[in-house]
Amino acid sequence: MKIAFAVSLVIFLALGMYIGLRISDCKWAGVDESVIEKLAVEANRPPREPFINIERGDLPLLLFLLAGAAGGFTAGYYFRGLFPPKGKG
């Protein structure tokens, strides 16, 4: 009974979010656009293109892959220090 309730609740919430996001036409502005860009314009410093534009292409995926690989290697290397055996902890 509890599992059926939990599953139906998750489905209901997911369906509600999906319908709500499909109906909504507004774009969610991030902190950069809504706060920092506004303050920069007020200070006579209009926004410009970034030095390294990672919004297009596969560069964000590559950076995410490299960060994950570096983190996984580091966690694997220091595994015994992170999770000591029960007798030695």
| Per-residue pLDDT at 89 | 53
Give the pLDDT mean for 73-80: 87
Which residues neighbour 1 within 8 Å (Cβ) at sequence distance 6 or greater?
A: none
Amino acid identity at 47: P
Going by pLDDT thresholds of 50, 70 and 90, the confidence category of residue 60 is confident
Instruction: Provide the residue ranges of all domains of the chain, joining segments of one domain with +.
Output: 1-48, 53-89
Overall pTM surpassing 0.85 (yes/no):
no
What pLDDT was estimated at residue 68? 96
Nearest C-alpha neighbor of 62 from the set 54, 51, 52? 54
Calculate what percentage of the chain has a pLDDT beyond 90: 27
Q: Please answer whether residues 54 and 60 qualify as being in contact, where contact means their C-beta atoms are separated by less than 8 angstroms.
A: yes
Query: Quick check: 40 and 33 in contact, CB under 8 A?
Result: no
What value does the mean pLDDT of the chain take?
Answer: 85
How confident is residue 48, by pLDDT bands cut at 50, 70 and 90? confident
Which one is predicted more confidently, 56 or 3?
A: 3
